[in-house]
Structures are given as structure tokens and as C-alpha cells.
């Protein structure tokens, strides 16, 4: 997980109202013709102070901008996939411990939970007797 300093480093530099849509290195005619393309933006090094343009943004707006990047979305999707796989594996393990007829019957997650509750109640009853 990123700390507050790292979260602000992945942000693209916002364009101010005074800055034109096309930068001075290409212009609209140059960009349309495919000539005079601007060099890539310089990457922000870790530990470098946050740009002054980003300081006026609220914490929520900086977070929103960081979450809008493709890198963040890809990382989030990967984490979510791993979480869901672990969740499904846990249900599969629980399912193996529950007796049902037939034993290979496919159960939904809610059915697995309800069956586990009933089975635990049954085991408690057996121990009490």
C-alpha cells in the first residue's frame, strides 16, 4: 500500500487554465502533421517534493487523480483477483469439510455457509449428549 507521499508522486501534472491545450513544442498544426512531438515528461523521483500545482488540490482530488491512472487500475484489478481467488479457495476448503448427499453436489456460497451453521449446531448437540 502506498503512503501519502508515494500517492502524490504517481499523479500526472495538471494543466492550468492559462496553459494551452497543445504545448509550445508541437502546436496544433505540428501535432496534426505528426512532427515536433514533445519529449516525454520527466518522471518524479521518490522523495522529491510534490509540485506546487498539486498542492492546491484537496487530498480527495489527489486520490481521485491517482486512481484514474492505468497503472493503479491494473494493480487494483490484480489485488482484487488475488482476493477473490483466496475467498473462493476458502469456500472450497469449507465445502470439503461438510457432509452432503451427493458429496459432489455443487453448492452456492450461501448454501455452504448455511450448511456449515447447521453442521456446527449438530456437532455441538452431539457433544452435549
pLDDT in tens, 71-101: 999 999 999 999 999 999 999 999 999 998 8
Q: Locate cell 514533445: which residue?
A: 38
Query: What gap in Å lies between CA 82 and CA 117, rounded to an integer?
Result: 27
Res 55: pLDDT: 72
105's grid cell: 453436489
For the cut 90, the answer to whether the pLDDT of residue 121 exceeds it is yes
Q: Which pLDDT band, with edges at 50, 70 and 90, does 31 fall under?
A: very low
Judge whether residue 33 has pLDDT over 60. Answer: no
Task: Determine the pLDDT at residue 51.
Answer: 61
> Cell triple for residue 24?
509550445
Cis peptide before 58 (omega within 30 of 0): no
Separation of alpha carbons 67 and 27, rounded Å: 29
> Given the C-alpha cell 476458502, which residue does it identify?
90
Which of 15, 36, 19, 18 minimizes the C-alpha distance to 27?
36
C-alpha 9/C-alpha 39 separation (Å) is 20
The CATH number of 59-128, from 3.20.20.210, 3.10.129.10, 2.60.130.10, 4.10.280.10, is 4.10.280.10
pTM of the complete model beyond 0.75: no
Q: What is the residue extent of each domain of the chain? A: 59-128
What's the pLDDT at 53? 65
| Residue 4: strand, helix, or coil | helix
Of 23-32, 35-44, 81-90, the one with minimum mean pLDDT is 23-32
51 backbone φψ class: left, alpha, beta (φ>0; ψ -120 to 50): beta
Amino acid at each position: 500500500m502506498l503512503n501519502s507521499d508515494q500517492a502524490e508522486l504517481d499523479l500526472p501534472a495538471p494543466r492550468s487554465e492559462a496553459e494551452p491545450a497543445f504545448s509550445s513544442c508541437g502546436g496544433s498544426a505540428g501535432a496534426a502533421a505528426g512532427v515536433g512531438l514533445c519529449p516525454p515528461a520527466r518522471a518524479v523521483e521518490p522523495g522529491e517534493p510534490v509540485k506546487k500545482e498539486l498542492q492546491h488540490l484537496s487530498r480527495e482530488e489527489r486520490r481521485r487523480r491517482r486512481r484514474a491512472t492505468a497503472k493503479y487500475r491494473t494493480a487494483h484489478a490484480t489485488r482484487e483477483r488475488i482476493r477473490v481467488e483466496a475467498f473462493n479457495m476458502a469456500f472450497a476448503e469449507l465445502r470439503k469439510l461438510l457432509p452432503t448427499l451427493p458429496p459432489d453436489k455443487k453448492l452456492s456460497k450461501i448454501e455452504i455457509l448455511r450448511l456449515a451453521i447447521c453442521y456446527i449446531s449438530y456437532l455441538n448437540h452431539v457433544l452435549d449428549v
